[in-house]
Amino acid sequence: MSTARSIQNLALIGFMGTGKTSIGRLVAEQLHYDFVDTDELIESSTGRTIPEIFAQQGEVAFRQLEARLVEELAARMRTVISTGGGLPVNPANLASLKTHALVVCLWASPEKIFERVRAQTHRPLLHDPDPMAKIRSLLAAREPAYRQADVLINTELRSAREVAQQVLHQFRSALPDQP
Ligand code: S3P
Integer Cα distance of 98 and 5 in angstroms: 7
- Full DSSP string of 77-102: -SEEEE--TTGGGSHHHHHHHHHHEE
Closest among 24, 1, 42, 139 to 79, alpha carbons compared: 24
For the Cβ of 134 lying below 6 angstroms from any atom of ligand 1, the answer is: no
What pLDDT was estimated at residue 2?
46
Query: What is the whole-number distance in angstroms between the Cα of residue 39 and the centre of ligand 1?
Result: 7
SS3 state of residue 117: helix
The preferred substitution site among 43, 89, 106, 125 for testing ligand 1, maximizing ligand atoms within 8 Å of CB, is 125
Task: Give the tens place of pLDDT for each residue, 57-95.
Answer: 999 999 999 999 999 999 999 999 999 999 999 999 999
The preferred substitution site among 13, 16, 46, 106 for testing ligand 1, maximizing ligand atoms within 8 Å of CB, is 16
What pLDDT was estimated at residue 4?
60
Q: Whose CA is nearest to atom 12 of ligand 1?
A: 85
Q: What's the CA dihedral at 23, 59, 110, 85 to 10 degrees?
A: -20
Q: Are 48 and 40 in contact (CB under 8 A)?
A: no
Q: What is the pLDDT along the chain (179 residues), one digit of tens a residue?
A: 444 679 999 999 999 999 999 999 999 999 999 999 999 999 999 999 999 999 999 999 999 999 999 999 999 999 999 999 999 999 999 999 999 999 999 999 999 999 999 888 889 898 989 999 999 999 999 999 999 999 999 999 899 999 999 999 999 999 876 54
What pLDDT was estimated at residue 177?
65
Integer Cα distance of 51 and 85 in angstroms: 14
- Full DSSP string of 13-32: EE-TTS-HHHHHHHHHHHHT
Closest among 3, 11, 25 to 150, alpha carbons compared: 11
What pLDDT was estimated at residue 3?
47
For the Cβ of 123 lying below 6 angstroms from any atom of ligand 1, the answer is: yes
